[in-house]
Structure 1
């Protein structure tokens, strides 16, 4: 690669700088700007002007300073050491930056290695001399953390015959492990390290359709609006509705192997809280720290906007790398609205024609390019891995009709709409059942039938039907009150209340309710619908709702979520006995 191309700064406009004349730079090339060697990327080229976006603060830069090309696109280093680490938007570890900087803020132009080059890793080689290797083949295994075995792979564009292999032992990430002879007769040295451009999706062998759910332990997500592994979901909501906390719950309890959390343009104090909380969380699966299978990308709102734009792609590329090893990876992007705002600011600096609400005309295509990189794939080495993307959206004033939310809905298949009134009523997760939807339900119904119960989807649809009936009846109740309703409609309202409080509402601080197995979720639906059936029979026999409510059975069913531990589901059988006893008691008293 030719790294000798240089140019001189001609103009500066915030994070955007201009060079005059022919520089020889390539589109999307990474460059070093000025005496402090700030990191930048070429975003526009014409015959006599080069435009560069700078990922660091540009105050103090002046015309005439030198810009030096690297010959490479903006890339990330892929090797052991990514998990249990905290990076900025361009994969610089914050801990090392803090050591190299003075004070609490990141110093400009700080140059640190993305990953620790001095650490020795226990390495078990999985190839031998004479083996034919293709792109994606695993050459070594390294225990990266207690939870994750890192599988070192051949870069996707390399293939050949192994001519030498090092023995098992301890190696640095840049030590040569394997030498192969390519089909052209060239010798290539392979280490644990790969470099990959962040804006280029990593190649795969085959993409599968949605077929397995991402089980989160949150009833409103798993039962009512499920998300598939390799799927895409959005969590939109106004300030204080619980976007970040919903993502925390998914990160902690979902059955993904690895979590990539991208804090994109969030407030500094909120990001600090995330970093502190994640480092303290215990992985419920293993009892080890949750950070053993998590990597964080922190890009706060006071960091330069260009780096915010890059942080999304950095996180995606790290996730795709672990997917290629055969892991299920979940990305939490918090929030894509701040990313879109970065696009808007850069677009304004570049004097591009604005579209709706000032966002650039290419907002939709950028969002689609982001969400399209999700999927369950057969990787180049034959393993099956997935990248699931869960993007928080922060519409101003909670207005879901704004461009980022509307364009996001075009490219996602699961929409968990948070509602301000539910959040203020302390109903969490504040996902509203009337504004949310999931297009994955038909794709996953076969999995639910095989792994939980053939009746699972039918029960879910019946609960949804009751909630929709409640919504229609509430229009009448608001006008003339509930006393005028016939008893069968009063029963519908009461059962809908049981569903809302006993099933959809969940307590993250209760040991049995914070995460609920699918078997218990099905059992709870079964009991609620059994209660509804028995109460309908009583109402049909002329029993008034006031008599039914006096027995306290509705409150008892609501309390199932607390009273039945996840490991003692046989206790659910007792509730049907209680409902039958309640049925007989009401008939005896009113005979």
Structure 2
């Protein structure tokens, strides 16, 4: 037992000989919990997860013997936790609207019983390694929970529980370790959040994460197991983009971490998510979702910890062989927490006051993404998507610039596009994807082999239109040739008919890969046939007045994702319209 020497905001200096770096410590009469982040002789510096108001020097300090860890077992899905894995529903029952300081609650329900089925062929005498599957539990109607030997467990199976109902604290297996000690295994185990969970080897990710958002999937794809960032200023629509990804992505498990965002935004998420229907199963979305809620008025250190809690939960379900997507909103608030704690510790600030280790901490977080072969021989993935909130939309600030160097997919949101009511407000000029080459293989095999060429053609047309728009702003549209005016119209068709997508439009909120390619292909065919007619003397004014252009803009809302065949019928309307014009200008029979 030690004592508190000094308190400085969330930082407490304690006298605790022998305590380890990273070890958790309980301090004061309130029993506040924190973790050791520095040591000097017999003194340790502790960052506390809660407000230290009224905590005084001289009060007790007690080491807990373990680092910050999360409980991993059945009962996680459908739950809402705070930044240190306290279940908010149970917290509300215990302390009301405000979380009482020093409140300690079990993350997993100790009273609930689960139907456990041992893994076939698993019997006493078997040699087990970490990560192997002991048995299975139906966690929800849609997700089967695979009970794993902890990654640090290894030895001979002495006993395994039969089929039956068990609480998470019940012993379901006993393992004789190489040292001869007998280890009891339960339905859950604990794992330190700052330590990445081990795996056998990394896979080469090849399957894209399908979000149903055209500008993300078609133009700037993200692979399962990849890492992406969504930077954007206030009001650009980051939260809606992330909610769309959480709702519509083809991942099996979704983890949403609200890290230091405004309370009203998180309240909206906490209220809407439990009511959403999973489009893939028809059941509640929360049956495959977890929420970690840490608002901006919660303790700064818990905000810093919440990201690690979320990624550890993602790795746990990845180890069960699932594809997991974790959305962190936002890493900027997490970085601000790092800056505040570093300031309290008197560490040397560098860019804009952030600590010198900001880039390495960001890289270490994103590096925990990946598609892997698990210790049990399964294949799973953890996809990390971090929102970034640069002050004033300045992408050169440290968090955004470092993140841009780390991630391979960058969905840059534009305030100008948002102000123009163009949603999602993803800027096709500043965004990029390093996964396009790998995604092309999947698109060629599952949708259309022309995907890569059509995508490149559309991006080139958008870039050309941006250049022409600058000329128009300087000297007016009269300076443009007919071909240039038609290029501007083609880019407008892509923007309005393909890239724009309403999250609140029932037909268009989600767009299948087949419908995405069909829309893009139709718009590009329309533009290409118009260009041919310009070459035989058809006035551009006549082309711009064609009703087929307005109809092309509305196709996305006229046909659902399961009506691709009906949508493809528009191709005949395009060809008929342009063939009629070709005939009028004396050159029939061009094109098929």
Band of TM-score, shorter chain: over 0.9
Instruction: Output aligned runs, 1:77-156, within 5 Å.
Output: 77-101=71-95, 103-126=96-119, 127-156=122-151
TM-aligned CA deviation for residue 413 of structure 1 = 0.4
Instruction: Give unpaired runs (5+ residues) of structure 1.
Output: 1-5
Instruction: Give unpaired runs (5+ residues) of structure 2.
Output: 587-592
TM-aligned CA deviation for residue 129 of structure 1 = 2.3
What's the secondary structure of 1:282's corresponding residue?
A: coil
RMSD value, Cα: 1.1
- 2:530 is aligned, of 529, 532, 535, to 535
Query: Hey, what does 2:26 align to over in structure 1?
Result: 32
- 1:409 is aligned, of 379, 404, 427, to 404
- C-alpha distance in structure 2 between counterparts of 1:178 and 1:110, whole Å: 31
Preserved contact between residue 547 and residue 586 of structure 1 (Cα < 8 Å): no
CA deviation vs aligned residue, 1:59-98 (integer Å, no higher than 9, x gap): 0000000110011111111111111001111111011111
Query: Hey, what does 1:353 align to over in structure 2?
Result: 348
- 1:53 is aligned, of 47, 50, 54, to 47
TM-aligned CA deviation for residue 590 of structure 1 = 4.2
- C-alpha distance in structure 2 between counterparts of 1:353 and 1:166, whole Å: 55
- C-alpha distance in structure 2 between counterparts of 1:556 and 1:125, whole Å: 58
- 1:209 is aligned, of 204, 207, 217, to 204
What's the secondary structure of 2:560's corresponding residue?
A: coil
TM-aligned CA deviation for residue 273 of structure 1 = 0.9
- 2:63 is aligned, of 64, 69, 82, to 69
CA deviation vs aligned residue, 1:232-290 (integer Å, no higher than 9, x gap): 10000000111111000000000000011100001111111110011111111111111
- C-alpha distance in structure 1 between counterparts of 2:11 and 2:42, whole Å: 16
- C-alpha distance in structure 1 between counterparts of 2:318 and 2:543, whole Å: 54
Preserved contact between residue 210 and residue 444 of structure 1 (Cα < 8 Å): no
- 2:299 is aligned, of 304, 325, 350, to 304
What's the secondary structure of 2:479's corresponding residue?
A: coil
CA deviation vs aligned residue, 1:116-141 (integer Å, no higher than 9, x gap): 11110111111222322211111110
Is 2:282 the partner of 1:287? yes
TM-aligned CA deviation for residue 48 of structure 1 = 4.3
- C-alpha distance in structure 1 between counterparts of 2:196 and 2:5, whole Å: 34
Q: TM-score, normalised by structure 2?
A: 0.97
TM-aligned CA deviation for residue 480 of structure 1 = 1.4
TM-aligned CA deviation for residue 508 of structure 1 = 1.5
- C-alpha distance in structure 2 between counterparts of 1:285 and 1:442, whole Å: 28
Is 2:527 the partner of 1:493? no
CA deviation vs aligned residue, 1:277-321 (integer Å, no higher than 9, x gap): 111111111111111000010101111100000000001111100
Preserved contact between residue 210 and residue 440 of structure 1 (Cα < 8 Å): no
CA deviation vs aligned residue, 1:390-436 (integer Å, no higher than 9, x gap): 00000111111100000111110000000001111111100010010
- 1:23 is aligned, of 13, 17, 22, to 17
Query: Hey, what does 2:179 align to over in structure 1?
Result: 184
Instruction: Output aligned runs, 1:275-424, within 5 Å.
Output: 275-424=270-419
- C-alpha distance in structure 2 between counterparts of 1:81 and 1:499, whole Å: 45
What's the secondary structure of 2:194's corresponding residue?
A: coil
Query: Hey, what does 1:228 align to over in structure 2?
Result: 223
Query: Hey, what does 2:257 align to over in structure 1?
Result: 262
Is 2:442 the partner of 1:447? yes
What's the secondary structure of 2:171's corresponding residue?
A: coil
Tell me which stretches of 4 or more aligned residues in structure 1 moved more than 6 Å.
none
What's the secondary structure of 2:375's corresponding residue?
A: coil
Preserved contact between residue 24 and residue 65 of structure 2 (Cα < 8 Å): yes
CA deviation vs aligned residue, 1:521-573 (integer Å, no higher than 9, x gap): 11112111211221011000111111112221211111111122211211233
Q: TM-score, normalised by structure 1?
A: 0.97
- 2:567 is aligned, of 524, 548, 572, to 572
- C-alpha distance in structure 1 between counterparts of 2:444 and 2:91, whole Å: 51
Instruction: Output aligned runs, 1:548-559, within 5 Å.
Output: 548-559=543-554
